[in-house]
Amino acid sequence: MIEEKGIFDRETSLVKMNTDEFAVEAVNDCRSRRIRVVDYQACDIGALANYIEILGSKSQAGKIIVYSHRNDWQKFLSLGYRLEGVMNTYFRGDPVYLISRFLCSDRFGSEHLVNEDLILKRILQRKRSCVGADKSSNCKNYSIRILKDDDINTVMDIFRDVFVTYPSPVEERRYFEELTGREGNIMLIAEYKSEIAGIISADIDNRHLSAELTDCVTLPEHRGRGVMAMLIDHLEQKLAQRKLICLYSLTRAGIPPINAVMYKKGYTYGGRLINNCDIGGRYENMNIWEKSIK
């Protein structure tokens, strides 16, 4: 038996375990009190589920999320897991089934679901091609570039101002240093008259050939002008050179503009992760949006 722990930041660690019954890689995320099982192989799903559950209760997690494969996601259902979403091309072009087990009752229920369904319905009712006005005339005032070291203090201030809480360690400079394009992951900045107007980043998973579009912020005075749409376009162009198959984003289900912009940019809705992470001061439900780029 081998157990290894790698630390991402003060509150997140990577746990690896190999036994005769399974091999697993899980992220223990104390910030959002969740365990994310990001990779596994198992001849005995029950043994794997037992191990994850022990991990979850040791770290007082409220939720376990397994990135599960086509052939065994259903085996998890009788072990207390629920299917929350599907991305069709996440595992090198094969589907991932996002199945979750809730370890405490306050994490399971959500009073926001009905309102979030309404937001989604209104967005999906629009024809993609007809969504919104042409904002290209607004956008000519903005330029897009990769994050530089000199931007980091300002970007840290922006995240502190916009989000009361955030699931990634945006209070740590190191988080942004890894997004300057030197180590694979990228953060792009939209600039208006030399001031930062918008931010997006890509968290690239080369093993599975997928990338998460994340850290999406437009500063309040620049919202509704197509800045996020423009950032997504530029990021997609950069990612096209990386031989990826799946782009996806997990968006706050209660915030209409971020869901509208994902839909507008051709992403397909793939489900909702309940009380998934601590963002904006509480656990929020996150919508799954996916686009295949193979």
Ligand X SMILES: CC(C)(COP(=O)(O)OP(=O)(O)OC[C@H]1O[C@@H](n2cnc3c(N)ncnc32)[C@H](O)[C@@H]1OP(=O)(O)O)[C@@H](O)C(=O)NCCC(=O)NCCS
Query: What is the SS3 string spanning the chain?
Result: CEEEEEEEECCEEEEEEECCCEEEEEEEECCCCEEEEEEEEECCHHHHHHHHHHHHHHCCCCEEEEEECCCCHHHHHHHCCEEEEEEEEEECCEEEEEEEEECCHHHHCCCCHHHHHHHHHHHHHCCHHHCCCCCHHHHCCEEEEECCHHHHHHHHHHHHHHCCCCCCCCCCHHHHHCCECCCCCEEEEEEECCEEEEEEEEEEECCCCEEEEEEEEECHHHCCCCHHHHHHHHHHHHHHHHCCCEEEEEEECCCHHHHHHHHHCCCEEEEEEEEEEEECCEEEEEEEEEEECC
Minimum gap (Å) between residue 216 Cβ and ligand X: 5
Part in contact with ligand X (CB under 6 A); list of ranges 1-9, 75-83, 102-110, 226-234: 226-234
User: Any contact of residue 144 with ligand X (CB under 6 A)?
Assistant: no
Part in contact with ligand X (CB under 6 A); list of ranges 3-11, 168-176, 202-210, 255-263: 255-263
Site for ligand X in 258-277 (CB under 6 A): 258, 260-261, 264
User: Any contact of residue 226 with ligand X (CB under 6 A)?
Assistant: yes
Nearer residue to ligand X within complex by CB, 6 or 132? 132
Residue window 160-189: x/- pattern of binding to ligand X, with contact defined by CB under 6 A:
--x---------------------------
Q: At what angle do helices 227-239 and 256-264 cross, to 10 degrees?
A: 50
Nearer residue to ligand X within complex by CB, 107 or 264? 264
Q: CA–CA separation, 91 vs 253, rounded Å?
A: 24
Nearer residue to ligand X within complex by CB, 35 or 261? 261
Minimum gap (Å) between residue 271 Cβ and ligand X: 15
Q: How many residues bind ligand X (CB under 6 A)?
A: 25
Q: Of the candidates 251, 275, 276, 292, which one interacts with ligand X according to CB under 6 A?
A: 251
Minimum gap (Å) between residue 282 Cβ and ligand X: 13
Q: Of the candidates 132, 182, 237, 240, which one interacts with ligand X according to CB under 6 A?
A: 132
Nearer residue to ligand X within complex by CB, 30 or 139? 139
User: Any contact of residue 257 with ligand X (CB under 6 A)?
Assistant: yes
Residue window 94-123: x/- pattern of binding to ligand X, with contact defined by CB under 6 A:
-----------------------------x
Contact of 230 with 144, CB cutoff 8 Å:
yes
Residues that bind ligand X (CB under 6 A): 123, 131-132, 135, 162, 198, 216-218, 223-229, 251-252, 255-258, 260-261, 264
